[in-house]
């Protein structure tokens, strides 16, 4: 499970957890983004064995594809079969309010790069099918969990951009035109690498802000982190129930 900006609280509630800082894992650099604590946590949540990744690596930090998706590939090598991804994202759709949780049903890759470019790695497909990148069965489990908790769980399309600057109003209009509901700077490379390894993927965006042109307020990362903390508690409850049902 990958915990995005300001969403690392679940890592503190792992039963019997063993925490390993990224710097102690060969090939893992220190994270440079506020809100990404940079540690792996092994343990149990709701009776299920989990590997939590608190923080992630981004292309905009200057990392290459091998680093950005290294944790997902490591998880696949350890026998993990399902990956839960989370992120903080901006709302492109007027129907997605700040503080809501969106389940990702599909994505658009505007990063202009793929983690699969280059030699085919052992255990990965050259041309993985992406007609259903986010597992339909797991999404059904998530809907059931949300109903039980009384959490509204809209579904939408996530657009991944390179960053690190926030998008311009014109770019947001473009994203809306191609069907995006939310925008962020992560998640898609990990989802692609996971699918290439045959892993099932489930992903959520915490909507931390309205994108440029939808709000008069300037965007800043501090507000993203703060809203991530506010909404992170609801997402943690949702993830716990989902894990219990898996």
Residue positions annotated with a catalytic role: 5, 36, 58, 60-61, 88, 185-186, 209, 221
**Separation of CA 9 from chain center:** 15
ω before 164 within 30° of 0 (cis)? yes
Contacts by residues 140-148 (CB-CB < 8 Å, ≥ 24 positions apart): 141/242, 141/245, 141/246, 142/103, 142/202, 142/204, 142/238, 142/242, 143/103, 144/245, 145/238, 145/241, 145/242, 145/245, 146/238, 148/241
**Separation of CA 47 from chain center:** 23
Q: Please tell me the total number of residues recorded for the chain in this structure.
A: 246
Cα–Cα distance list, 140 to 136, 158, 200, 201, 209 (Å): 6, 18, 13, 12, 27
């Amino acid at each position: 499970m990958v915990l995005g900006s300001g969403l690392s609280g679940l890592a503190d509630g792992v039963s019997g957890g063993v925490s390993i800082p990224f710097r102690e894992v060969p090939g893992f650099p220190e994270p440079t983004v506020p809100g990404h604590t940079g540690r792996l946590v092994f343990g149990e949540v709701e009776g299920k064995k989990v590997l939590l990744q608190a923080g992630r690596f981004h292309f905009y930090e200057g990392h290459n594809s091998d680093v950005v998706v290294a944790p997902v590939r490591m998880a696949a090598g350890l026998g993990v079969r399902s990956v839960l991804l989370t992120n903080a994202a901006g709302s492109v759709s007027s129907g997605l309010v700040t503080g809501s949780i969106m389940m990702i049903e599909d994505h658009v890759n505007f990063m202009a790069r793929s983690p699969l470019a280059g030699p085919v790695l052992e255990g990965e497909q050259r041309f993985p099918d992406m007609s259903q990148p986010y597992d339909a069965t797991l999404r059904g489990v998530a809907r059931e969990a949300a109903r039980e908790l009384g959490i509204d769980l809209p579904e939408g399309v996530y657009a991944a951009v390179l960053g690190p600057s926030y998008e311009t109003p014109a770019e947001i209009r473009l994203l809306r035109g191609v069907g995006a509901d939310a925008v962020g700077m992560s998640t898609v490379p990990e989802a692609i690498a996971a699918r290439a390894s045959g892993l099932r993927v489930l992903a959520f965006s915490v909507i931390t802000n309205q994108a440029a042109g939808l709000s008069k307020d300037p965007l800043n990362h501090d507000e993203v982190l703060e809203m991530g903390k506010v909404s992170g508690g609801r997402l943690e409850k949702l993830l716990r129930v989902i894990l219990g049902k898996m």
